[in-house]
Chain A
Amino acid sequence: DTGVSQDPRHKITKRGQNVTFRCDPISEHNRLYWYRQTLGQGPEFLTYFQNEAQLEKSRLLSDRFSAERPKGSFSTLEIQRTEQGDSAMYLCASSLALGQYNEQFFGPGTRLTVL
């Protein structure tokens, strides 16, 4: 299966610790997105990359969050000094931005629990 993969699938951490998640997009896709989903809500956009350039960041992405996509392939999302409010499902998606419309394909997500 060559879909979007995310690692780890689950992460439990204590408040104040740093965590890092990884996303591997579909190999030929040039765009990569991060979303966050909390219970009872739809996914909320955090940031996206076209190749290695980070083109947009949501106001949800506080200074404690940083994302990278160093070689335009996989991406990492780091949360520093985690807070209980960071507990959520973190979703990665990728797309091939060629035509006028581009569907985003999602990975299975990383569920973060901050104790």
Chain B
Amino acid sequence: DQQVKQNSPSLSVQEGRISILNCDYTNSMFDYFLWYKKYPAEGPTFLISISSIKDKNEDGRFTVFLNKSAKHLSLHIVPSQPGDSAVYFCAASERGGSQGNLIFGKGTKLSVKP
């Protein structure tokens, strides 16, 4: 049973527009959420995170929104750039990550077209 779901395997966006990547989770014990970006043949790179006490966190072009009642989070990238083309993974953990393991979704492949 998948606890973290990214239902869109791929997303294509025009350069300069907004990219919105979505993630749903089922475990109500998750209290810390992270987004990672992954290029081919590289490890995931940490992008941004949010704790369950917040509903929004912003870092430059990246904003993560958390809707706890809907068990849904999203990553907004504005404006999108061709270098943002990668696979984006949503991850979640319990107790702020003190449990050790992160639970990942299957990823969404973002293509930003010039």
- Which A residues contact B (CB, under 8 angstroms)? 4, 6, 31, 33, 40-45, 48, 55-56, 58, 91, 93, 95, 97, 99-109, 111
Q: Which residues of A contact B98 (CB under 8 A)?
A: 97, 102
Instruction: Verify B49–A45 contact, CB threshold 8 A.
Output: no
Instruction: Verify A102–B96 contact, CB threshold 8 A.
Output: yes
- Which B residues contact A (CB, under 8 angstroms)? 4, 32, 34, 36, 41-46, 49, 51, 89, 91, 96-107
Instruction: Verify B102–A104 contact, CB threshold 8 A.
Output: yes
Residues A106 and B102 in contact in the complex (CB < 8 Å), given A43-B44, A101-B96: no
Instruction: Verify A105–B46 contact, CB threshold 8 A.
Output: yes
Cβ 8 A contact of B43, one of A48, A102, A103, A107:
A107
Determine the distance from Cα of A31 to Cα of B91 in the docked complex, in whole angstroms. Answer: 18
Q: Which residues of A contact B41 (CB under 8 A)?
A: 108, 111
Instruction: Verify B34–A103 contact, CB threshold 8 A.
Output: yes
Residues A56 and B89 in contact in the complex (CB < 8 Å), given A101-B32, A108-B43, A109-B42: no
Q: Which residues of B contact A105 (CB under 8 A)?
A: 46
Residues A48 and B100 in contact in the complex (CB < 8 Å), given A101-B51, A103-B49: yes
Cβ 8 A contact of A108, one of B4, B42, B101, B107:
B42
Q: Which residues of A contact B43 (CB under 8 A)?
A: 4, 6, 91, 93, 106-109
Determine the distance from Cα of A44 to Cα of B68 in the docked complex, in whole angstroms. Answer: 24
Q: Which residues of B contact A93 (CB under 8 A)?
A: 43
Q: Which residue on chain B has the smallest CB distance to residue A56?
A: B100
Instruction: Write 12 A-B pairs (CB below 8 A) sorted by A numbering.
Output: A41-B106, A48-B100, A55-B100, A56-B101, A93-B43, A100-B51, A102-B98, A106-B45, A108-B41, A108-B42, A108-B43, A111-B41
17 more CB-based (< 8 A) A-B contacts, given A31-B100, A41-B106, A42-B105: A33-B100, A42-B89, A42-B91, A42-B106, A43-B44, A45-B100, A45-B102, A97-B97, A97-B98, A101-B32, A101-B97, A102-B96, A104-B97, A106-B43, A106-B44, A107-B43, A108-B42
Q: Which residues of A contact B106 (CB under 8 A)?
A: 40-42
Q: Which residues of A contact B99 (CB under 8 A)?
A: 56
